[in-house]
Structure 1
Amino acid sequence: MVTRLRRRVDRHPRLVEAAYLLLIYAATSNQYRRAGDDTLWWPGFALAAVTCTSLLARRRHPGAVVVLTTLGTTAAGAQGSTFGPLLLLPVIVALYELTLQVSQQAIRLYGLLVAVILVPTALRWDAEDEPWANEAVSLAFWILLPILHGLAVRARRAYMDTVRTRAEDAERTRHEEAQRRVIEERVRIARELHDVVAHHMALANAQANTAAHLLSTRPAQTGRILTELTGTTTAALRELEATVGLLRQPETAEESLNPAPGLDRLPDLVAAFAAAALHITITVEGPVKPLSAGVDLTAFRIVQEALTNVAKHAAVNTAHVHLAYGQAQLTITVSNDSSPITPPRAPGGGFGLLSMRERAQSAGGSLRAGRRPEGGFAVTAELPIST
């Protein structure tokens, strides 16, 4: 029932305002009596109409309305009306609205002004011979009541605004965080797809070219290469299926890639490239230390991508992988010697170095790549042993 009533009030604000002011007028005008003989003071009805009508402007001009209602009430008290809460009702409403809108300093100023005007008038024209202390305390109470209530409402509104703002900020932050996670996941899957597809397709292309070159002169070796080519394409399809499956699985990336490839699969990687006529030497410096799953996967993918770039872009048949285990850091260097001829630029691509750099940074490391002073190209990644 209360909800329905509130809805009706919200639909008819002007009608509610008119009824509210008429109620104030009826309560106030009935107080315009001379306390001694209980006779009506007829001009008081006009004065009550002025003071109550002025309340229509209490939101636009709260200070002026407070002054006007205070003067009207003072005039009524000066002719003998009793300073009770009903006579003070327009002043109470005006002070309440003033408290909601103006500064703390203005509230104190207007409150003091109302007290300075009303209290002496009440003490001077007290028709019921009440003790002046009682009269002053009563008036002070009715002046302070709307001010204190207005301050409480104002503080409550400020608190609710703060709560609403924080809720909106939290909602916006959650939305931005969700978007950021989606973008990061898309980049991660794109990087994984690039590494898988680029490596296996480059390897398959190199194996196919080698098989075509040896087809007429070494048919037995060509058969072995074609057999390994089948294994390469099968592995590519298997890893591609596993990577695309990340888009459909609710578990986290760590769980989805389990078991993830690591540096223990380097011998298989070397064998696959050997079938494509790229011979790889691996050297290890320092005692081998166990790596975390994320760093191990990152290290393997960087070596894989770097060797793929050698197979695609460098007209050489050898590459070198150097693993240096330090106290808290693993340094990976993949290099190749200079080529006597300039290889043709491979079509497409362009994301290999970017993918490796992103992988290194995501694991808390760094990567640099460039031509070596003695010739050839080198990719060096520095990764933390554990994260």
Structure 2
Amino acid sequence: MTAIDRARCRLTARPLALDAALAAGVLGCMVAGSFVDPHGENGVTWGIRTPDPLGLVLMTLGAAALVFRRRAPLTVLALTGAVSLVECVTGDPRVPVAMSAVIALFTVASTTDRPTTWRVGLLTTTVLTGAAMLAGPLPWYAQENLAIFAWTGIGATAGDAVRSRRAVVQAIRERAERAERTREEEARRRVAEERLRIARDLHDVVAHHIALVNVQAGVAAHVMDKRPDQAKEALAHVREASRSALDELRATVGLLRQSGDPEAPTEPAPGLDRLDELAGTFRSAGLPVQVAHADHGTSVPAAVGLAAYRIVQEALTNVQKHAGPGAKAEVSVVRVGQRLEVTVLDDGVGHDPGDERAAAPGEGGGHGLLGMRERVAALGGTLTAGPRHSAGFRVHAILPVETRTAVHGNPGETA
């Protein structure tokens, strides 16, 4: 920082001292100007005339009023204008008392709005110029009278220009600050949405595979002594479900890697083409599942396919956990125009006390149903879930095939 910058900072921090210095400078200029005769024999002549006592008093009063120009700009303008008016009418019009009024008018124009500047500027210019022309000792066309008109107009115009520049700079600063806040809020929102998406994926993967592991482990424990071959088969299913869970967890956690970490798995996200494979894992766990496709063999966006797969996965997991022994499940995927309808039905005997699906509609169910609703809402679709009239449970999702360009910033989930 240079010495000039340091001095400017100190003066800006003390506005009263700055105004006092300005008033002293204006007083010096006015006093010096009062010794100048612009109509001398050799042009502008210095020291030919001296100001009268009234002129010195008026110049001192006008300069002293400028010390308070920031605190009361209109009052200071009225005082300096009155002093200048007295000088124009009764004193020597060549004494530049009007200089204080010009500075005060500049201050008013730079601190108020444009309509106020117009009104005050026209009033000041008209009164001072008219008084000098009509009541002053010089002819109305004298250059001193025209100078009053010119300098008051320049003061008002310069003050308005300064005010406009300040407004532009302030608007630019506010836009920059607002843009910065918007970027920070957008970053926080994306982080929250990404955390929510990963939480849903983790819940779907863990709930599904752990439920299968639990069922198969129970089967193995039940038939271990009497039918060891069936127990081995159940343990093989446990091993396969565990391996699948680890693979999917590894793929999900891979999204959290930093830029310098090893590459994350690049296996594509599951979609409708893996529904039969998904149903097979449940059949191997003892849950009869029928899958019906009526999507006309058309492809859907990756985001829609992943959401449909996760909804079916979570719904069948809930059937496995809560529908009771002997329950059966039916899965249907139907393409209707620009919508994909996914339905999962079961014929379970009823809900046990710990069934998360038995929650009241206002309670939102457990985390599985909440995750399904969030997935569907993110795509702009609808989901209904509730008990069937006879027995069992029904999950029905309507997913629009034309999704938004990006779904919560998930790579690969684009329309």
TM-score normalised to the size of structure 1? 0.88
Residue number in structure 2 paired with 1:100: 110
Give, in whole Å, the separation in 2 of the partners of 1:62 and 1:302. Answer: 70
Residue number in structure 2 paired with 1:155: 164
Residue number in structure 1 paired with 2:248: 239
Is contact 1:92-1:142 (8 Å) kept? yes
Q: Partner of 1:241: helix, strand, or coil?
A: helix
Q: What is the 5 A alignment of 1:165-180?
A: 165-180=174-189
Give, in whole Å, the separation in 1 of the partners of 2:340 and 2:74. Answer: 75
Structure 1 residues 41-50 or 305-314, which shifts more? 41-50
Change (3 A) 1:125 1:284: closer
Residue number in structure 2 paired with 1:287: 296
Long gaps (5+) in structure 2? 40-47, 358-364, 404-415
In the alignment, structure 1 residue 164 sits paired with structure 2 residue 173: yes
Residue number in structure 1 paired with 2:43: none
Give, in whole Å, the separation in 2 of the partners of 1:232 and 1:305. Answer: 15
Structure 1 residues 182-191 or 318-327, which shifts more? 318-327
Change (3 A) 1:351 1:285: same
Q: Partner of 1:259: helix, strand, or coil?
A: coil
Change (3 A) 1:306 1:6: same
Match of 2:98 among 65, 68, 88: 88
Shift of 1:284: 2.4
Give, in whole Å, the separation in 2 of the partners of 1:325 and 1:79. Answer: 96
Q: What is the 5 A alignment of 1:211-222?
A: 211-222=220-231
Is contact 2:26-2:100 (8 Å) kept? yes
Give, in whole Å, the separation in 2 of the partners of 1:154 and 1:11. Answer: 20
Give, in whole Å, the separation in 1 of the partners of 2:183 and 2:215. Answer: 47
Give, in whole Å, the separation in 2 of the partners of 1:246 and 1:197. Answer: 17
> Which amino acid counterpart does residue 211 of structure 2 have in structure 1?
A
Is contact 1:324-1:330 (8 Å) kept? yes
Change (3 A) 1:181 1:8: same
Q: What is the 5 A alignment of 1:262-281?
A: 262-281=271-290
Shift of 1:11: 4.9
In the alignment, structure 1 residue 365 sits paired with structure 2 residue 374: no
Residue number in structure 1 paired with 2:52: 41
Shift of 1:105: 4.4
Shift of 1:359: 1.5
Q: Deviations over 1:115-135 (max 9, x none)?
A: 3432244335766x6661755
Residue number in structure 2 paired with 1:20: 22
Give, in whole Å, the separation in 1 of the partners of 2:80 and 2:107. Answer: 13
Is contact 2:117-2:160 (8 Å) kept? no
Give, in whole Å, the separation in 2 of the partners of 1:282 and 1:198. Answer: 21
Is contact 2:345-2:393 (8 Å) kept? yes
Give, in whole Å, the separation in 2 of the partners of 1:332 and 1:70. Answer: 83
Give, in whole Å, the separation in 2 of the partners of 1:364 and 1:342. Answer: 30
Q: Partner of 2:92: helix, strand, or coil?
A: coil
Change (3 A) 1:342 1:19: closer
Match of 2:69 among 58, 61, 71: 58
Change (3 A) 1:125 1:362: closer
Q: What is the 5 A alignment of 1:332-343?
A: 332-339=342-349, 343=352
Give, in whole Å, the separation in 2 of the partners of 1:177 and 1:62. Answer: 44
> Which amino acid counterpart does residue 65 of structure 1 have in structure 2?
V
Residue number in structure 1 paired with 2:128: 118
> Which amino acid counterpart does residue 158 of structure 1 have in structure 2?
A
Give, in whole Å, the separation in 2 of the partners of 1:79 and 1:265. Answer: 102
Q: Partner of 1:291: helix, strand, or coil?
A: coil
Match of 1:76 among 80, 87, 105: 87
TM-score normalised to the size of structure 2? 0.83
Shift of 1:357: 1.5
Shift of 1:159: 1.4
Q: Deviations over 1:292-323 (max 9, x none)?
A: 21111111111111110001111133211122
Q: Deviations over 1:131-155 (max 9, x none)?
A: 6175543321111001001111111
Structure 1 residues 91-100 or 13-22, which shifts more? 13-22
Match of 1:381 among 382, 386, 397: 397
Is contact 2:77-2:105 (8 Å) kept? yes
Give, in whole Å, the separation in 1 of the partners of 2:142 and 2:57. Answer: 32
Shift of 1:83: 3.9
Shift of 1:13: 4.2
Q: Partner of 2:329: helix, strand, or coil?
A: strand
Give, in whole Å, the separation in 2 of the partners of 1:163 and 1:385. Answer: 42
Residue number in structure 2 paired with 1:300: 309
Change (3 A) 1:73 1:283: closer
Q: Partner of 1:379: helix, strand, or coil?
A: strand
How big is the alpha-carbon RMSD for the aligned residues of Structure 1 and Structure 2? 2.8
Shift of 1:344: 5.7
> Which amino acid counterpart does residue 247 of structure 1 have in structure 2?
L
Is contact 1:207-1:226 (8 Å) kept? yes
Q: Deviations over 1:328-361 (max 9, x none)?
A: 222221111132x764626999211111121122
Give, in whole Å, the separation in 2 of the partners of 1:149 and 1:137. Answer: 18
> Which amino acid counterpart does residue 361 of structure 1 have in structure 2?
A
Q: Partner of 2:225: helix, strand, or coil?
A: coil
Match of 1:210 among 185, 202, 219: 219
Residue number in structure 1 paired with 2:367: 351
Identity of aligned residues (%): 39
Structure 1 residues 177-186 or 260-269, which shifts more? 260-269
Q: Partner of 2:297: helix, strand, or coil?
A: coil
In the alignment, structure 1 residue 321 sits paired with structure 2 residue 331: yes
> Which amino acid counterpart does residue 193 of structure 1 have in structure 2?
L
Residue number in structure 1 paired with 2:78: 67
